[in-house]
């Protein structure tokens, strides 16, 4: 039986499959309604499924759709883990907490960002304090997000970005673009000036983890970075922290850390893992982003830029608009059996290692 059956063509199908699988597995389910609507006027929800004891020692927490358009991947894993019966591998003292489509607006509209154009994985900063500065983004803002979008503009701006990379270095270019910025609300990788609905919802859900919990393993599913189909375990815990040491042990060293320069990702501002770690300060949190590659970085970047232009200036229903939505979908979801199988194999291996790690901690 192919694992492709666990994956979906759109948000509505993904939600339906997740809720059906959760009900069949006997999970306790709750729903958090987003204030906005989907493309067909439908209500949007972040759904939560809890399996296992009500007072566990350990909790395996999985998250899909932090970056909405990336939700296809994590949803497929969450549905499959329930539907296949693998959830029955939970130890007696361990519960599973699955958060499906934590950014449902982005998932439904095939956008990486939330309804307010905010990158949820850059939103976990203290908005009462001065926001992190990203001078590199300011230098590149007009290049990254031009008012026109056509072949000549794409070629010209890509050449300008390449020149910046040659002058400042590839890491500096990556940090300037994707490190997180708080100065251009209509730009890409914008971290926002206040807590998003998705951030508030995620923290509300975490607040319900029982006081009995001593260990929480977090796996946040992402796509769009790295070699096609390869799942990089990216750990954003701070260097020399107990959490990073646990991650190294649990995953047998098969993980990376942006702070140590070992990851394909650069250091980011306002990442959700660090926000969740603060919210769960009373327990031992060990978290990773499981990041799967799709297309080459240049094409993923172009898709993000195109989608940002479409949201700010374009017509979603035009042929150009439909082509851009297909482009952004392809950048974050490879609708191919071999890619889905690679996603599945790495995900199940990772979840099993997390369960083993908590059991031995």
Q: How confident is the model at residue 343 (pLDDT cuts 50, 70, 90)?
A: very high
Residue pair 359/58 in contact (Cβ under 8 Å)? The answer is: yes
Residue bearing tokens 């982005």:
106
The model's pTM is 0.97
Look at residue 191 and tell me if it is in a domain. Answer: no
pLDDT band at 359 (very low <50, low <70, confident <90, very high): very high
Same-domain check for residues 59 and 83: yes
Q: Which helix (H) or strand (E) holds 311?
A: helix 297-313
Q: How many domains does the chain have?
A: 2
Residue 190 forms part of a structural domain: no
Task: Answer yes or no: do 208 and 239 share one domain.
Answer: yes
Pair (169, 214) in one structural domain:
no
Are both 156 and 16 inside the same structural domain?
Answer: no
**Same-domain pairing of 244 and 96:** yes
DSSP lists the bridge partners of residue 61 as 97, 218
Contacts of 107 by beta carbon, 8 Å cutoff, 6+ apart: 11, 14, 65, 68, 69, 71, 75, 101
Angle between helix 151-168 and helix 135-144 axes, rounded to 10 deg: 160
Domain of residue 9 covers 3-126+196-294+333-360
Is 184 inside a domain boundary? no
How much of the chain, in percent, has pLDDT values that exceed 90? Answer: 99
Cβ neighbours of residue 163 under 8 Å, at least 6 residues apart?
Answer: none
- Is residue 256 domain-resident? yes
pLDDT tens column, 188-198: 999 999 999 99
What CATH number corresponds to the domain at position 228? 3.40.630.10
Q: What is the pLDDT averaged over residues 161-171? A: 96
* Matching residue, tokens 């130890």: 91
Instruction: Report residue 298 as tokens.
Output: 């240049």
| 243 in the same domain as 307 | no
- The predicted-structure confidence for 41-80, as pLDDT tens digits, reads as follows 999 999 999 999 999 999 999 999 999 999 999 999 999 9
pLDDT at 241: 94
Percent over 70 (pLDDT), the chain: 100
Helices marked H in 169-269: 170-178, 197-206, 242-250
Do residues 55 and 24 share a domain? yes
Q: Same structural domain for residues 157 and 286?
A: no
Distance CA 103, CA 198 (A): 6
Q: What is the pLDDT of residue 225?
A: 96
Q: Is 92 inside any structural domain?
A: yes
Q: Mean pLDDT for the chain? A: 97
Give yes or no for a contact between 29 and 119, defined as CB atoms under 8 angstroms apart: no
What does the pLDDT read at residue 12? Answer: 98
Whether 209 and 227 map to the same domain: the answer is yes
- 89-140: pLDDT as tens digits: 999 999 999 999 999 999 999 999 999 999 999 999 999 999 999 999 999 9
Give the model's confidence band at 253: pLDDT under 50 very low, under 70 low, under 90 confident, else very high: very high
**Residues 67, 12 share a domain:** yes
Query: Would residue 337 count as lying in a domain?
Result: yes
Same domain (yes/no): 200, 316:
no
On whether both 228 and 342 belong to a single domain, the answer is yes
Specify the pLDDT at position 261: 92
Statement: residue 1 has pLDDT above 90: no
Residue 201 banded pLDDT, cuts 50, 70, 90: very high
């Amino acid at each position: 039986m192919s694992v492709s059956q666990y994956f979906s063509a759109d948000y509505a199908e993904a939600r339906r499959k997740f809720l059906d699988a959760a009900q069949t597995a006997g999970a306790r389910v709750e729903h958090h309604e987003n204030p906005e609507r989907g493309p067909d006027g439908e209500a949007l929800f972040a759904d939560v499924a809890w399996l296992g004891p009500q007072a566990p020692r350990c909790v395996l927490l999985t998250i899909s759709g932090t970056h909405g358009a990336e939700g296809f991947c994590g949803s497929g894993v969450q549905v499959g883990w329930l539907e296949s019966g693998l959830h029955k591998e939970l130890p007696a003292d361990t519960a599973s907490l699955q958060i499906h489509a934590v950014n449902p607006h982005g998932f439904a509209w095939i956008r990486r960002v939330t309804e307010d154009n905010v990158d949820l994985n850059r939103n976990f900063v203290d908005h009462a304090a001065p926001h992190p500065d990203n001078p590199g983004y300011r230098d590149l803002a007009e290049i990254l997000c031009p008012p026109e979008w056509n072949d000549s503009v794409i070629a010209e701006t890509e050449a300008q970005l390449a020149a910046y990379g040659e002058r400042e270095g590839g890491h500096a270019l990556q940090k300037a673009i994707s490190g997180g910025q708080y100065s251009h609300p209509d730009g890409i990788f914008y971290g926002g000036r206040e807590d998003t609905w998705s951030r508030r919802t995620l923290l509300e859900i975490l607040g319900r983890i029982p006081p009995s919990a001593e260990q929480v393993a977090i796996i946040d599913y992402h796509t769009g970075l790295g070699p096609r189909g390869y799942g990089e375990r990216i750990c954003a815990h701070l260097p020399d922290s107990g959490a990073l040491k646990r991650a190294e042990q649990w995953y047998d060293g098969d993980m990376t850390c942006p702070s140590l320069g070992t990851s394909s990702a650069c250091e980011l501002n306002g990442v959700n893992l660090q926000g969740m770690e603060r919210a769960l300060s009373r327990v031992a949190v060990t978290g990773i982003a499981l990041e799967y590659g799709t297309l080459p970085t240049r094409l993923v970047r172009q898709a993000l830029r195109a989608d940002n232009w479409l949201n700010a200036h374009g017509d979603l229903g035009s042929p150009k608009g439909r082509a851009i939505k297909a482009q952004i979908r392809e950048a974050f979801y490879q609708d191919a059996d071999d890619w889905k199988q690679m996603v599945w194999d790495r995900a199940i291996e990772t979840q099993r290692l997390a369960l083993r790690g908590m059991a031995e901690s």
